[in-house]
């Protein structure tokens, strides 16, 4: 597929790198690619960032047949731009596509077109400490049709957004709420796919948690409401009696790339780590026995997000005295140092763009 590039005539002003938030500013260009059954994926083009015009009957708008990804491009001290494990995002997107009856992308094309877009937008990758360029590949069903079936046509696009440091004032442990009123995903559902409906399903519980003063919801499984699954839009880790523990992938948990990276680093370093079922009762008991040493979320946005407090029903537990534990700190430093090119990349996780 021949990628064409049409440059905009007017560049947007670049933002102040020290004032960047998350997800509000977008760069000058985007990638668009179309799919039809007869031509497959075709007409890949980098063109000026612009609204997408859609028929009001477009299937994605009605039935949510869509998938997306989230990753970041980082500026290194030596002036290069690099991505962290983009091949993993592409694999996950293709798995999401299979679950949502959508056509997969050729992984080589997906990576090369993503890198080409970032190369065009290289001046948008911020350089201030902790900042990055967030990359949002998205695929949507585009048939104008009101009936529940898989669409025949699709649009794939990538947009880019410069984002600020997640911890401008340093690591800040968060308070999280375990809810029994709502679940995020169920066995046999679409929890392990990165599809918009999962996020829509999480909003009300998230809002209620915020209203009560909590940052995130710690989700229980959707069948027995007994086992821990994820925290907000992150995977969850605990340190119990010296062992790093995370819920095993069961079909309703999103297989995070940060999660995978923590596990792979732990195995490389010889830190005890296991993926298994963890019940909320086990967690509460571990806390009572003084064995629950740390809890932290893991995801692209924050990398590691220490948890200082968990509320479950009437019970409230404080973890690591509400401070940042040494395991959270060690994995945060190791992963961010690789992402920003401050440390060697012994795992082969870095994909250079320029
Ligand atoms: C529901 C959910 N779980 C976990 C994660 C963490 O995944 P990753 O580490 O690939 O960002 C994300 C973010 O993408 C998410 O949306």
Note whether 280 and 225 are within 8 A (CB).
Answer: no
The three-state secondary structure class of 188 is coil
Residues with CB under 6 A from ligand 1: 70, 230, 233-235, 254, 256-259, 299-300
| pLDDT bucket at 322, cuts 50 / 70 / 90 | confident
299 Cα to the center of ligand 1, angstroms: 5
d(CA 216, CA 208): 10
Alpha carbons 274 and 213: distance in angstroms, whole number: 31
The predicted pLDDT at position 65 comes to 98
For ligand 1, atom 15, the nearest C-alpha belongs to: 233
Residue 154 backbone phi and psi in degrees, to 5: -145, 160
Most ligand 1 atoms within 8 A of CB, residue of 166, 262, 300 to mutate? 300
- The most distant pair of C-alpha atoms in the chain lies apart, rounded to whole Å, by 64
- The span from the CA of 303 to the CA of 336, in Å, is 8
What's residue 166's pLDDT?
A: 85
d(Cα 255, Cα 194) in Å, to the nearest integer? Answer: 9
Euclidean distance between CA atoms 103 and 153, whole angstroms = 9
Closest residue CA from atom 2 of ligand 1? 233
Per-residue pLDDT tens digits for 331-350: 999 999 999 999 999 999 99
Compute φ and ψ for 324, nearest 5 degrees.
Answer: -85, 125
DSSP H or E run through 199: helix 196-211
Tens digits of residue pLDDT in 94-125? 999 999 999 999 999 999 999 999 999 999 99
pLDDT of residue 165: 86
Mean pLDDT for 317-321 is 94
Cβ atoms within 10 A of the Cβ of 26, count?
A: 17
**69-100 core/surface letters (b: 16 or more CB in 10 A; e: else):** bbbbbbbbeeeebbbbbbebbbbbbbbbbebb
Mutate to test the pocket of ligand 1, among 70, 71, 137, 256 (most ligand atoms within 8 A of CB): 256
- Count of residues making up the chain: 354
Centre of ligand 1 to C-alpha 232, Å, is: 9
In this structure, are residues 301 and 22 in contact, taking their beta carbons and an 8 Å threshold?
yes
């Amino acid at each position: 597929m021949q990628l064409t590039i049409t440059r905009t005539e007017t560049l947007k002003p670049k933002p102040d790198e020290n004032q960047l938030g998350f997800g509000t500013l977008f760069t000058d260009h985007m990638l668009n690619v179309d799919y039809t059954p007869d031509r497959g994926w075709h007409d890949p083009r980098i063109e000026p960032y612009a609204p997408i015009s859609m028929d009001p009957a477009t299937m994605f708008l009605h039935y949510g047949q869509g998938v997306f990804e989230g990753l970041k491009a980082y500026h290194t001290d030596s002036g290069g731009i690099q991505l962290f494990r983009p091949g993993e995002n592409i694999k996950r997107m293709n798995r999401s596509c299979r679950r949502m009856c959508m056509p997969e992308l050729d992984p080589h094309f997906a990576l090369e077109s993503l890198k080409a877009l970032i190369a065009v937008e290289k001046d948008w990758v911020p350089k201030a400490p902790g900042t990055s360029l967030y990359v949002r590949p998205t695929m949507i069903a585009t048939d104008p049709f009101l009936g529940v079936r898989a669409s025949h046509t699709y649009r794939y696009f990538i947009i880019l957004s410069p984002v600020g440091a997640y911890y401008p004032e340093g690591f800040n442990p968060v308070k999280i709420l375990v809810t029994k009123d709502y679940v995020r995903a169920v066995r046999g559902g679409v929890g392990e796919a990165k599809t918009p409906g999962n996020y829509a399903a999480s909003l009300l519980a998230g809002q209620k948690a915020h209203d009560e003063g909590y940052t995130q919801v710690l989700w229980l499984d959707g069948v027995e409401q007994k086992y821990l699954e994820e925290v907000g839009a992150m995977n969850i880790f605990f340190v119990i009696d010296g062992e790093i523990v995370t819920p095993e992938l069961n079909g309703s948990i999103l297989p995070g790339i940060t999660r995978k990276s923590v596990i792979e680093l732990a195995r490389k370093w010889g830190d005890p780590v296991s993926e298994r079922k963890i019940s909320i009762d086990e967690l509460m008991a571990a806390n009572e026995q003084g064995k629950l040493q740390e809890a932290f979320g893991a995801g692209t946005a924050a990398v590691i997000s220490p948890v200082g407090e968990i509320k479950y029903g009437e019970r409230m537990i404080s973890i690591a005295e509400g401070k940042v534990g040494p395991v959270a700190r060690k994995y945060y430093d190791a992963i961010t140092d690789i992402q920003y090119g401050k440390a060697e990349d012994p795992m082969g996780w870095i994909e250079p763009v320029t």
